Amino acid sequence: MAVTDIDPENASKTGTDLEARLRQIGAERYHDKHPFHALMRDGRLTKGQVQAWALNRYYYQSRIPIKDSVMMSRLIDADLRRIWSQRVVDHDGLPEGGTREGQGGLKKWLHLCEGLGLERDYVISEAGVLPATKFAVDAYVNFVRDKPLLEAIASSLTELFSPGIIRERVTAMLAQYDFVDEDMLIYFKGRMTQAPRDADFALDYVVRHAITPELEDSVCQALVFKTNVLWAQLDALYFAYVEPRLPPPDAFVPED
Amino acid sequence: MAVTDIDPENASKTGTDLEARLRQIGAERYHDKHPFHALMRDGRLTKGQVQAWALNRYYYQSRIPIKDSVMMSRLIDADLRRIWSQRVVDHDGLPEGGTREGQGGLKKWLHLCEGLGLERDYVISEAGVLPATKFAVDAYVNFVRDKPLLEAIASSLTELFSPGIIRERVTAMLAQYDFVDEDMLIYFKGRMTQAPRDADFALDYVVRHAITPELEDSVCQALVFKTNVLWAQLDALYFAYVEPRLPPPDAFVPED
């Protein structure tokens, strides 16, 4: 849709409503409401369960820059593409030689995994990842490839809600798990500024382009889809590692 | 790969080993080993849990003829394509007017859902399907679209093991659940002849074309992938409806 199609008057009026609808979806469906997150926050996970979480989440992390590359491949406007490319840099990092602070998010996530006692090569191999994790994450990449661009962009809006869960998670992990220290959690430090910057941009884009009730609905459905992607990953962790604790064949088996 | 690339001598020698490897994968990983199937077989599911199973499985059923259409779109050989098209007919049926016996598998599955007390339109809407079911099933369709043709065909080989689980399921459902009768299970009657016919064809194709150790490995991995697709669906049902019994937002909620 060309920028000239947009009536800024209308956009700003319905935009407020749309933002409220999107925030309501987050309030109801973001994975900070999931029982697995509650266990983590309340200090009730074993080290093995935290390992399983980090290992599976690595698969998600690894596919985020792929998802963002797919998105870039769909952006015809070079300005948009350049803005979006910052996301890939955030995860993949800049050329070698910088400080850990300057590393990409994926390396920082591996640092967390190693700090938790997982073998780096095992994590990278993806051998122990739950199939359900892969199915959910791959569904997200496919969504961004196959859906209308507006919906693809809207599906990133879970980042609106990520500072809250990161704050809860970091506070809880440092307070409640003696096998976690601040250096291990450096990934989250960067995300506290990156996620709001990305979310603000995507929200602005979505509000300006969802100019009919049908498009607004499609944007909301895209966000619901994405909350399902995150939620299903915690369902799978809960099933395999908490209750009934039935990891499928080949999946990571904690020592505890 | 052209037919002329194949040395029949080699193919028949390693073919026996490959078939044994494939059958071993089934023995270890087919979903007849899953605890949810054990509950069904032992008569320990409630009617609501059987409804949840049928409802989610409808999504899988609905995507099978789509998957087979994707496969047909990749088959350059018209003979192969015609043989594969029988699978689509089996699920989609022939033009209206025939007996129920002559209907496609999808209609027969809806008949089962209705017999279990589910609203036909609700089932077709897919509104209550678990997101994890959709992610797993869609991963299968994408696999068949994106992977080498040999692997795409090999991923159908779970049908080698389906007569066994169907026999267990039908026997158990008739014996143990007073809300199930033989007419409701007519879907499975057709599958007892269709599945072995399809599996024999696919196995023959795979054995003739997997003529290097690398290709044999890729075929085995494709079958492992497909067992994961089936397994993950039962994981999700178990998590949402058995233990810890936490259906995600929007998912079907049984009355019992």
**Is the pLDDT reported for residue B191 higher than 90?**
yes
Q: What is the pLDDT of residues B34-82, one digit of tens each?
A: 999 999 999 999 999 999 999 999 999 999 999 999 999 899 888 899 9
Averaged pLDDT, A173-190:
96
| pLDDT of the residue at A13 | 56
| pLDDT of the residue at B245 | 96
In which band, very low, low, confident or very high, does the pLDDT at A100 lie, cut at 50, 70 and 90?
low
Structure tokens at B192: 């007892």
Structure tokens at B199: 């599996």
- Does residue B5 fall inside a structural domain? no
Nearest Cα of chain A lies from the Cα of B186 at a distance, in angstroms, of 31
- Does residue A134 fall inside a structural domain? yes
Instruction: Count the domains in chain A.
Output: 1
- Does residue B8 fall inside a structural domain? no
- Does residue A256 fall inside a structural domain? no
Nearest Cα of chain B lies from the Cα of A133 at a distance, in angstroms, of 9
Structure tokens at A165: 């869960």
DSSP letters, A164-220, are: HHHHHHHHHHHHH-TT--GGGGHHHHHHHHHHHHHHHHHHHHHHHH--SHHHHHHHH
- How many helices (H) and strands (E) are present in chain A, helices listed first? 11, 0
| pLDDT of the residue at A3 | 38
| pLDDT of the residue at A179 | 98
DSSP assigned state of A34: S
DSSP letters, B32-68, are: GGSHHHHHHHTT---HHHHHHHHHHHHHHHHHHHHHH
Q: What is the pLDDT of residues A79-96, one digit of tens each?
A: 899 999 999 989 998 766
**Is the pLDDT reported for residue B3 higher than 50?**
no
In which band, very low, low, confident or very high, does the pLDDT at B126 lie, cut at 50, 70 and 90?
very high
- Does residue A253 fall inside a structural domain? no
- Does residue A122 fall inside a structural domain? yes
Q: What is the pLDDT of residues A51-80, one digit of tens each?
A: 999 999 999 999 999 999 999 989 988 889
Longest alpha-carbon distance in chain A:
60
Percent of chain A scored above 90 by pLDDT? 85
Q: What is the pLDDT of residues B137-175, one digit of tens each?
A: 999 999 999 999 999 999 999 999 999 999 999 999 999
Structure tokens at A253: 């088996």
Q: How many Cβ atoms sit within 10 Å of the Cβ of residue A18?
A: 23
Closest of B97, B45, B131 to residue B107, by C-alpha: B97
- Binary contact (B232, A248; C-beta < 8 A): yes
Determine if residue B118 is left, alpha or beta; phi over 0 gives left, psi from -120 to 50 gives alpha, anything else beta: beta
- Does residue B30 fall inside a structural domain? yes
- Give the chain A residue nearest B242 (alpha carbons): A244
The mean pLDDT of chain A is: 92
Q: How far is CA B254 from CA B54, B149, B237, in A?
A: 12, 40, 12
pTM of the model: 0.85
Q: How far is CA A160 from CA A20, A87, A117, B173, in A?
A: 12, 15, 31, 47
Q: Report H helices in chain B.
A: 8-29, 35-41, 47-74, 78-92, 105-115, 120-125, 131-146, 149-154, 162-176, 186-209, 213-241
- Give the chain A residue nearest B228 (alpha carbons): A131
Residues written for chain B: 256
> Is the CB of residue B43 less than 8 Å from the CB of residue B175?
yes
More confident residue, B113 or A77: B113
Percent of chain B scored above 90 by pLDDT? 85
| pLDDT of the residue at B78 | 85
Q: The domain spanning residue B72 has which CATH number?
A: 1.20.910.10
Nearest Cα of chain A lies from the Cα of B34 at a distance, in angstroms, of 9
Q: How many Cβ atoms sit within 10 Å of the Cβ of residue B238?
A: 21
Which residues in chain B are contacts of A131 at CB distance < 8 A? 136, 228-229, 231-232
Which segment, A219-223, B8-12, B73-77, is predicted with the most confidence on average?
Answer: A219-223
In which band, very low, low, confident or very high, does the pLDDT at B2 lie, cut at 50, 70 and 90?
very low
DSSP assigned state of A103: S
Domain of residue A192: give its range. Answer: 14-241
- Give the chain B residue nearest A140 (alpha carbons): B135
Q: What is the pLDDT of residues A8-35, one digit of tens each?
A: 445 545 678 999 999 999 999 999 999 9
- 3-state secondary structure (DSSP) of residue B74: helix
**Is the pLDDT reported for residue A188 higher than 70?**
yes
Phi, psi (5° rounding) for residue A63?
-90, -10
Distance CA B210, CA B193 (A): 26
**ipTM associated with this complex:** 0.77
| pLDDT of the residue at A1 | 36
Averaged pLDDT, B95-119:
84
Contact with chain A for residue B134, Cβ under 8 A: yes
Q: What is the pLDDT of residues B18-38, one digit of tens each?
A: 999 999 999 999 999 999 999
| pLDDT of the residue at A101 | 58
- Does residue B88 fall inside a structural domain? yes
Phi, psi (5° rounding) for residue B58?
-60, -40
